Structure 1
Amino acid sequence: MTTFGYAATPYGQIHYAECGAGEPVLLLHQTPRSWDEYREVLPLLGGTRRAIAMDTLGFGNSARIAEHSIEAYADGVLALAEALDLGSLALVGHHTGGVVAVEAAARAPELVSRLVLSSTPLVDEQARARRRDAPAIDAVAERPDGSHLSELWNRRAPFYPLHLLTRFVRDALAVWPEVEDGHRAVSAYRMEERLGLIRCPVLCVGASADPFAFPELARLTVRLPYSTSAVIEGGMVPLEHQAEQFATIVEEFLCS
């Protein structure tokens, strides 16, 4: 059974969902999602360990923040780990969640025992330059007739199965109008300065049908010490689409 809670932290209350008991694994979602991205994964990992999916600060039902940054998101991750007295833990992140996981693992190498980076971009100088002039991913101008809602839907439609689009749009509207701020935070992050601080084993996971992140898999893996990689054939942008395969890969890595 998945249960829910709020943890009091110096940054405000952080909402989380959890399932199972034992060694903890903390799951971080992409932008602009919530814990719901791991709805299917939680009970699968929760069969052998304590699986926790949090709402990143500024998203879902967690406290809003004054300024979005990867560093601020990582503050929330480490604050939740302390509030729940998790001790040593495995950290898993998907897309933006993977970037946040990098910062948390670099900042607290004594805390993070294993790291899974799913569909995670390598954000170096080259990537920052490329992203600087790139069009917005989810930001749309609000219109009186509500047509911005269909525009938000249509922007993600090529990359999401129909049954998952509603869940995406619900999460996006929960943070409106800050729907693009997480993407901007990723684009400003200096990841190349943090990768060498990671001390634990790392698994980089790529979803072959994710046109944005999959080309980054090899580049990221070679930049990380103690890393291996795995590919989910047919995996897409939304983690829910490959929940069973993803949970299996993560479980095997955590048990290795």
Structure 2
Amino acid sequence: MRHHFADSRFGQLHYVEEGHGEPVLLLHQTPRSSDEYRDVLPLLGSSVRAIAMDTPGFGMSAPLTGEWSVELFAQAVLDLCDALELEQVALVGHHTGGVVATEVAAAAPRRVRALVLSGMPFVDAPRRHQVATGRPPIDHVERATDGSHLQQLWDNRAGYYPADRPDLLERLVMDALRVLDRVEEGHLAVNRYRMEDRIGSVTARTLVLCGELDTFSLPDVPKILEAIPGSVAHVLPGAGVPSVDHRPDLFAEAVRQFLLAQETPSCRHGLNAVPSSPYGTEQR
């Protein structure tokens, strides 16, 4: 993989890429970075130009001042596309990255030729209320002089990660430490986003992808299918919230088959080679 920086209205944006061909831009969850896709890029790079960026404020991209928003993150995605002279891209977003990808596809439909929404929550008024009134913070910790906040960062996410893969959780904690003072703000930006007002503007051919153990987002798959006509769904067996780095083989293959399929009902055909799931290749 090659590391690069591009100028944007928000400062320098860091990105990594591998491969040649049609550009595919991958967007990470909060509080990760492009590192989330480090095992996916070589797999996708065998058939496309796979690019993973650090959202502003995360990873090695420029820090941000002021309030974060999904709309701001989407503007940065388009800035990177402009800097790389990419007139049209396929967008792949995981969790927060999926929400950002949705806004890009709604705001600039001609720039997005295909869309993969992985583990994306459906953010509407009931969910915003539920999160605002009943759900504890996902990643927030208070810095402690004895370093116990490092253990708390680990404990906050341990239940969502496979017990036999501590290396995956280590990677998340390393990314979280880069943005420790604002580690929860990406989640807050997602919860402020009015997805129900924007998702209907998505016209790109769409795959809704989710790990079968991702109890956070899996219940929202039918809502997303309903909101994006013609979208298809696939559930990755044995994978949860960290499906990208836990099962990069399954993730990359599902994305690759969808992107290479023709824009006809035969796209359902392409997904049949991926292991079946509760949603199979449901099409709406």
Q: Which amino acid aligns with 2:126?
A: Q
Shift of 1:87: 1.5
> In 2, Cα distance between the equivalents of 1:103 and 1:10?
18
Q: Within the alignment, does 1:251 sit opposite 2:250 as a pair?
A: no
Shift of 1:226: 2.4
Q: Deviations over 1:130-189 (max 9, x none)?
A: 111221000011111111110111111111131211100000001111100000001100
Q: Deviations over 1:39-83 (max 9, x none)?
A: 000010000110000000110010111221101110110000110
> In 2, Cα distance between the equivalents of 1:158 and 1:136?
14
Which stretches in structure 2 are left out of the alignment for 5+ residues?
A: 262-284
> In 1, Cα distance between the equivalents of 2:159 and 2:197?
34
Match of 2:121 in 1: 121
Match of 1:50 in 2: 49
**Other structure's SS at 2:13 match:** strand
Out of 177, 190, 193, which is 1:189 matched to? 193
TM-score, length of structure 2 as denominator length: 0.88
> In 2, Cα distance between the equivalents of 1:220 and 1:129?
19
Answer whether contact 1:236 1:242 (CA < 8 A) is retained.
Answer: no
* Aligned pairs, number: 255
Q: Within the alignment, does 1:34 sit opposite 2:36 as a pair?
A: no
Match of 1:235 in 2: 239
Match of 1:102 in 2: 102
Q: Which amino acid aligns with 1:255?
A: L
**Other structure's SS at 1:225 match:** coil
Shift of 1:233: 1.0
> In 2, Cα distance between the equivalents of 1:218 and 1:242?
23
Q: Which amino acid aligns with 1:150?
A: Q
Match of 2:112 in 1: 112
Out of 214, 220, 240, which is 1:210 matched to? 214
Out of 198, 201, 205, which is 2:202 matched to? 198
CA RMSD of aligned residues (A): 0.8
Shift of 1:96: 0.3
Match of 2:272 in 1: none
> In 1, Cα distance between the equivalents of 2:245 and 2:104?
24
> In 2, Cα distance between the equivalents of 1:12 and 1:225?
36
Answer whether contact 1:101 1:115 (CA < 8 A) is retained.
Answer: yes
Larger mean Cα displacement after TM superposition, 211-220 or 48-57:
211-220
Q: Deviations over 1:190-212 (max 9, x none)?
A: 00111111111100001111110
Shift of 1:19: 0.2
Match of 2:61 in 1: 62
Q: Deviations over 1:107-135 (max 9, x none)?
A: 10000000000000000111111111221
Larger mean Cα displacement after TM superposition, 107-116 or 222-231:
222-231
Equivalent residue runs for 1:133-152 within 5 Å: 133=133, 134-152=135-153
Shift of 1:225: 1.9
> In 2, Cα distance between the equivalents of 1:11 and 1:165?
29
Q: Which amino acid aligns with 1:167?
A: R
Shift of 1:243: 0.7
Answer whether contact 1:200 1:226 (CA < 8 A) is retained.
Answer: no
Which stretches in structure 1 are left out of the alignment for 5+ residues?
A: none
**Other structure's SS at 2:21 match:** coil
> In 2, Cα distance between the equivalents of 1:112 and 1:20?
19
